[in-house]
Amino acid sequence: MRFAFVFATCLAGTLMAQPAPAKRAPATRPPANLAQLMRGIIYPSSNVIFAAQTQNPAEIKPATDPAMSPNLLTSTYGKWDAVENSSLALAEAASLLDSVGRKCSNGVDVPLKNAEWAKLVQALRQAGMTAYKAAQTKNQEKVVDAANDVTAACENCHEKFREKPNLSDRCK
């Protein structure tokens, strides 16, 4: 019993003698503002899903040089893969909308503390996942239904935070 006490005392002394863990560097502000994030990821990803409503991705011909195609549907990872990947990009981009320090294009902080913002970001995440599951079926009718969810997620957020008469009122 005495050995256990001595061992525990030594072990505790060793643990207490350990240096404190290094502090993490403060997070840096995200490089893109909200409009840039929308234009660079969310808008083009949504457009791939919307395009799949009217043109069956399985029937899309690849570009002459798919590796250089700016059209995701005709690129190396085109057709249904592009719809799946774009759907996942939407779902993943929802997390980027919640990045601390992100600014709106008017310089206002993204409204992270607003409960409505969190709800609308979650709706985008869910719409992306719904589109992904639809794309996996390679059924164009299911993608049409999923695209409606994407449209609703975008419209609901734009109505609340974007569609303002004055640019300075966005994100409020």
pLDDT tier at 19, thresholds 50, 70, 90: low
Confidence band of 8 (pLDDT split at 50, 70, 90): very low
Amino acid at 33: N
Q: Is the pLDDT of residue 28 over 60?
A: yes
What Rg value do the Cα atoms of the chain yield, rounded? 24
Domain 30-169 part of CATH 1.10.3470: no
pTM of the model: 0.81
DSSP state of 168: G
Look at residue 20 in the predicted model and tell me its pLDDT.
52
